[in-house]
């Protein structure tokens, strides 16, 4: 993020537990808000800001127990918007994943199908600029149901003719996916907390949601490595040819 020029403002409220009502200056630098009062600089990292509220002509920052009110400059509104854009940015969820697209993860059709839902959700979320659409892109119930359906399909493809074997494999796959399903449930709960939060605490709840989304990707990575052996032990059954095609030698 580009740094901004320092602008003169009136600073009211509390900073690090101390009441203030003085002239000062504010700017964005690196990944923090810098406030200078009486030649003393106070910095608040974006990942420590719980909420940002613009109600003209005041920009209010909520940082832990501190509430800082800034007034007196037309540049405060765009400054607040810049803080929000940066604080609401999505992290790179796949950065720590070992199984996604790697040789170790046994890349193939099953691999691509397993990760397709999460990757599609990530692409969709990155295409939106406001939080609600990003939350909707990662709808936990939809992702959970898609996972359950996929695991059932993987079992059916390996045992199309044997119900007991199919059910046993599906049960094994679902057991390996329990932690991933739990992470998806937590993600859904975190999304509801974001939706129910006030502006004063929305960024704090958003950080919890992004942390929950990161956990989903990590659990998906673990789950893939757990189900790989079970899938590899039983190759996908080739479709049986009809009698007429076998009898006439047709493929």
> What is the mean pLDDT of the segment spanning 165-175?
96
Is residue 212 a part of any domain in this protein?
Answer: yes
* 107 and 229, same domain (yes or no): yes
Domain that residue 30 falls in: 7-87
More confident: 6 or 234: 6
- Per-residue confidence at 4, pLDDT binned at 50, 70, 90? confident
pLDDT on residue 3: 73
- What pLDDT does residue 233 have? 84
Return the pLDDT at 102: 54
Residues 141 and 204 in one domain: yes
Rounded to 10 degrees, the C-alpha dihedral 104/105/108/109 comes to 170
The mean per-residue pLDDT over the stretch 44-63 comes to 96
Residue whose C-alpha is closest to residue 168's, from 181, 177, 180, 159: 159
Over residues 9-13, mean pLDDT: 98
Position of tokens 């990575």? 221
d(CA 225, CA 248): 43
**198 and 111, same structural domain?**
yes
Same domain, yes or no: 108 and 81: no
Q: Is residue 202 part of a domain?
A: yes
CB count in 10 Å sphere of residue 150: 17
CA dist 82 and 53 (Å) reads: 12
Report pTM: 0.87
The pLDDT of residue 245 is 44
pLDDT score at 238: 55
Percent of the chain having pLDDT more than 70? 90
pLDDT band at 96 (very low <50, low <70, confident <90, very high): confident
Residue 92, domain member (yes or no):
no
The Cα–Cα gap between 183 and 212 comes to: 7
If one counts the domains in the chain, the total is 2
Within-domain flag for 94 = no
User: Is 196 in the same domain as 112?
Assistant: yes
* pLDDT range class, residue 100, cuts 50, 70, 90: confident
DSSP code, position 97: -
Query: Is the distance from CB of 155 to CB of 169 less than 8 angstroms?
Result: yes
Query: Quick one: 79 and 116 in the same domain?
Result: no
For tokens 């910095």, what's the residue?
43
Q: Using an 8 Å Cβ cutoff, are 113 and 157 in contact?
A: no
């Amino acid at each position: 993020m580009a740094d901004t020029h320092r602008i003169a403002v009136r600073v009211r409220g509390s900073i690090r537990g101390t009441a203030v009502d003085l002239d000062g200056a504010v700017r964005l630098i690196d990944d923090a808000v810098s406030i200078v009062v009486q030649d003393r600089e106070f910095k608040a990292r974006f990942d420590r800001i719980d909420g940002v509220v613009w109600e003209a002509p005041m920009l209010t920052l909520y940082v832990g127990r501190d509430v800082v009110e800034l007034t007196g400059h037309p540049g405060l509104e765009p400054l607040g918007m810049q803080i929000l854009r940066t604080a609401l940015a999505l992290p790179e969820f796949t950065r720590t994943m070992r199984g996604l697209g790697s040789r170790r993860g046994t890349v193939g059709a099953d691999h691509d199908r397993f990760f397709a839902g999460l990757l599609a959700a990530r692409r969709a979320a990155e295409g939106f600029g406001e939080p609600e659409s990003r939350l909707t892109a990662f709808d936990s119930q939809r992702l959970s149901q898609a996972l359950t359906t996929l695991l059932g399909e993987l079992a059916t493809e390996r045992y199309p003719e044997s119900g007991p074997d199919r059910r046993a494999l599906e049960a094994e796959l679902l057991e390996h996916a329990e932690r991933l399903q739990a992470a998806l449930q937590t993600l859904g709960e975190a999304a509801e907390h974001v939706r129910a939060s006030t502006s004063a605490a929305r960024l704090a709840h958003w950080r919890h949601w992004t942390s929950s989304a990161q956990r989903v990707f990590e659990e998906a990575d673990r789950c893939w490595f757990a189900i790989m052996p079970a899938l590899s032990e039983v190759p996908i059954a080739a479709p049986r040819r009809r009698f007429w095609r076998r009898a006439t030698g047709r493929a």
